[in-house]
Amino acid sequence: MAFRKRDTSNDQCRVWAEISRSALLNNVAVVRSQLIPEVQIAAVVKADAYGHKAELVAPILENEAGLAFFSVATLEEAIELRDIGIKGDILILSSVDPRYVPELKHYNLIVTLMDESYIEPYALMAAQSDGVLRLHLKLDTGMARLGLATTGDNLEQSVKAAMSIEAAPKLNLEGVFSHLASGAADPEYSAHQLALFKNFLSIFQERSGRKLIRHLAASNALTNPDFALDLVRAGIVLYGGQAPPPVLWQELRPVMSLFSRVYLLRDVPRGTSVSYSQTWHARRDTRLALIEAGYADGIMRILSNRGSWLINGVEAPIVGRVCMDCCLVDVTDLPQVQIGDRALFFGEYKGQVLSAAAQAEKAETIDYELFTGITARVPRILV
């Protein structure tokens, strides 16, 4: 028996995410407005474009917004971008097993060198085939996570490591970067990180005579010209998410809007317990609406009795435990609600916005986690 391919239009889906081309292009323009023309934007599209679907987002960024630099987290993500036709530079923001140097060269990818132990294996593997291996060097300036050290006695060792990359004939060191722990939220600590970054660069450039592409600012600092060097890594702001200082980002629009529908309506008397574990009891005669989205779709269970859905322009609170495939909301105060009405979990609909940041705060997390937590079974539809 032949089965019909699933219709992924929003008319057929129980839950779906609309990805707005116009919002994405708007956000690129807003980011550009904060930068001097000489500063290049690197679009961060790791984690499937923060859950927005890279195969939808990346071509728009390259072909319509004119961006020519992309950042991802893994080799697999980089190859996927090439497979969908992305031609710009692609930086993998971590080191890759040296066994995959041939793939890095074949797809013309830039890999991060974040530990001295990778230098020799990269050089050996790169020497076995034509062409050079493109590299950016990562420095640890205060995250204590990844990168070559920039403080104390370790600074000299890190500079020597960078010089050894220069000496390897098949390694091409193109750039150097670090990551700010707090960005604009902690200017003093960020200034300390910037000073360490510049000190390393000064010593390296004096010895090598070379100027590298420098990038330090991600979304949380790219409005500050001290941190926006040759390149800025724009991630969450491209998708309309929240980054400090929020006053500068008021023109951003949410790129993803997550929807479901009212599937059932049920009237229950006062005192009725709702959903698993009886965590919520009706304090009055209550009308409940069942929404066809649950934690298997990315509606986090911690939002039980905390989160909400926007229905007909009004926030209706989630009551009882969020289930795997559905949740319940109290629509007693929405007398006009009907089965089939669209429900917005976050995003924008008919001029009204329910921000992902607001939902994330109720879940004691950040919008990054909310976006990337929308699961693969939720279709993304470009609008």
Residues carrying an active site annotation: 46, 276
> What is the C-alpha end-to-end distance of the chain, expressed in Å?
33
3-state secondary structure of 99: helix
Distance CA 186, CA 184 (A): 5
Distance CA 253, CA 23 (A): 5
250: its two tokens: 């008021």
For residue 301, the 8-state DSSP code is G
CB contact at 8 A, 239 and 368? no
Q: Angle at Cα 361 formed by Cα 355 and Cα 362, nearest 5°?
A: 100
Indicate the helix (H) or strand (E) that contains 327: strand 327-330
Closest CA to 58 of 29, 34, 87, 18: 87
For residue 230, the 8-state DSSP code is S
3-state secondary structure of 1: coil
Sort strands 213-215 and 171-177 into parallel, antiparallel or unpaired.
parallel
Strands annotated E in 206-326: 213-215, 231-234, 256-268, 273-274, 280-281, 286-291, 308-311, 314-319
Which residues are registered as beta bridge partners of 69?
89
